[in-house]
A and B are shown apart, each in its own frame.
Chain A
Amino acid sequence: EAQVTQNPRYLITVTGKKLTVTCSQNMNHEYMSWYRQDPGLGLRQIYYSMNVEVTDKGDVPEGYKVSRKEKRNFPLILESPSPNQTSLYFCASSFGQGGYEQYFGPGTRLTVT
């Protein structure tokens, strides 16, 4: 089954404790992206990747890091999480460039206390 997977699905952590949210897709998509979704603010892009070793900032990159060492994986790293990073996070992937259909993972609900 073609899909985007994320882990963990739910995470409660404390301020400053480094964490990684994994994202993997099995569709051989070149493009992958991370979004956060907050009430009243909609979906905002954090980082995206056009292909292996090619990443770039989205609209809200502060406090986040990403890497793309393999085509299928695109982890999101929070080096020192803060409460304002409490949010619902989605990974998405797309064949070709970012302006095509994007397919979303199930989401990760992160709470930072």
Chain B
Amino acid sequence: QKEVEQNSGPLSVPEGAIASLNCTYSDRGSQSFFWYRQYSGKSPELIMSIYSNGDKEDGRFTAQLNKASQYVSLLIRDSQPSDSATYLCAVNESGAQKLVFGQGTRLTINP
């Protein structure tokens, strides 16, 4: 079973600051990387996908991928209380028809 590791948190960030979420993965053959946001008791919601090395920006969110280091991160700029949620990193497992999910990082934005 390939692994995806995240710091479980909780990560506490003041409102307006940058939240930085990190994820490492074990499968060197992985090509697709995703960040999901999950509010308590709700379903995971896809917020970012990234497939090539470098940065990808979408509004206040930036995903960063470094395949050589097997590392993917999510930056949230100008953090808002509504960003408080658990963030799941997901990585495709090479040679298999599946995504492997990390356990998630619980993020709290403090007003």
Contact (Cβ within 8 A) A42 B45: no
Closest to A33 in B: B98
**Across the two chains, which residue of chain B brings its CB closest to A45?**
B98
The total of chain A residues at the interface (CB under 8 A) is 26
Chain A, 92-113, contact with B by CB distance < 8 Å: what is the 0/1 string? 0000011111111111010000
How would residues 40 to 62 of chain B score, 1 for a CB under 8 Å from any chain A CB and 0 otherwise?
A: 01111110010000000000000
Tell me if B's interface is mostly helix, strand, loop or mixed: loop
Complex contacts, A109 vs chain B, CB 8 Å: 41
Q: How many residues of B contact A (CB 8 A)?
A: 23
Find chain B residues with CB under 8 A from A31 CB: 97
CA A101 to CA B34, docked complex, whole Å: 7
Q: Which chain A residues in 47-102 approach chain B with CB under 8 Å?
A: 48, 50, 56, 58-59, 88, 90, 97-102
Name the one of B1, B31, B97, B104 contacting A98, with C-beta atoms under 8 angstroms: B97
B101 and chain A: residue at smallest CB distance: A43
